[in-house]
């Protein structure tokens, strides 16, 4: 059984599991919710509130899934499907603003399997054809762009600004931020 080397929750109730030897698999939390009768996995912040080691993933309350179970119940993921894995770092509605009275949402997302792993965006108006947009950045591009710190603040993740400002290695920073999101999920 290969050892777990990383666990990254996403925004669609799944875990991207990195196993020794560079294999990445996707585990759908609905499997454990049904098989283990763990209804709390229906809540994204509860699923994200995890820790892991080489043999298992753990949640508060004694919930543990071992690496063998996760491997057996997950599916390989690669290519575009892997690049679509996203974890929200911060997200906040700042309305009313001069652009919209009720929906002006700022967000920062981590895309850990992309070269441009930081996505900063706005949604103005909501709905199918809202205005706004987003842009992806590598760590170097993000650090060199104007106003990113303010965008993090508006997205309710100003806590991450000092981590990004002092980082020099994108992969290491992503791991730090992902672990922080998991830890902070326990305070929601």
Which has the closest alpha carbon to 7: 45, 39, 55, 41? 55
pLDDT at 127: 65
For the chain, which domains are there?
A: 4-82 (3.30.2020), 86-185 (no CATH)
pLDDT at 132: 81
Whole-prediction pTM: 0.93
Q: How many CA atoms lie within 13 A of 138 on its CB side?
A: 6
pLDDT at 2: 87
Q: What is the mean pLDDT of residues 147-173?
A: 98
pLDDT at 133: 84
Q: What is the mean pLDDT of residues 99-114?
A: 94
pLDDT at 131: 78
What's the pLDDT band for 21 if we cut at 50, 70, 90?
A: confident
17: pLDDT strictly greater than 60 = yes
pLDDT at 128: 57
pLDDT at 188: 72
Cα dihedral 69, 74, 79, 80 sign:
negative
The tens digit of pLDDT for each residue in 25-83 reads 999 999 999 999 999 999 999 999 999 999 999 999 999 999 999 999 999 999 999 99
SS3 category, 64: strand
The dihedral region occupied by 161, where left means phi > 0, alpha psi between -120 and 50, and beta the remainder, is alpha
12: pLDDT strictly greater than 90 = yes
pLDDT at 130: 67
Residue-averaged pLDDT of the chain: 94
Q: Are 51 and 182 in contact (CB under 8 A)?
A: yes
């Amino acid at each position: 059984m290969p050892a777990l080397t990383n666990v990254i929750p996403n925004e669609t109730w799944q875990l991207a599991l990195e196993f020794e030897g560079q294999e990445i698999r996707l585990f759908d939390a609905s499997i454990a919710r049904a098989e283990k009768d763990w209804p709390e996995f229906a809540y994204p912040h509860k699923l994200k509130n995890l820790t892991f080691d080489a043999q298992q993933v753990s949640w508060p309350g004694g919930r543990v899934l071992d690496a063998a179970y996760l491997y057996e119940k997950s599916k390989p993921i690669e290519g575009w499907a892997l690049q679509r894995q996203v974890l929200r770092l911060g997200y906040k509605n700042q309305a009313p603003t001069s652009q919209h009275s009720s929906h002006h949402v700022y967000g920062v997302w981590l895309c850990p399997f992309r070269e441009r792993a930081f996505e900063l965006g706005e949604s103005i108006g909501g709905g199918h054809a809202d205005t706004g947009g987003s842009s992806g950045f590598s760590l170097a591009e993000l650090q060199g762009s104007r106003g990113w710190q303010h965008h993090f603040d508006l997205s309710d993740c100003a806590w991450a600004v000092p981590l990004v400002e002092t980082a020099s290695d994108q992969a290491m920073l992503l791991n730090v931020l992902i672990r922080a999101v998991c830890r902070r999920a326990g305070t929601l």
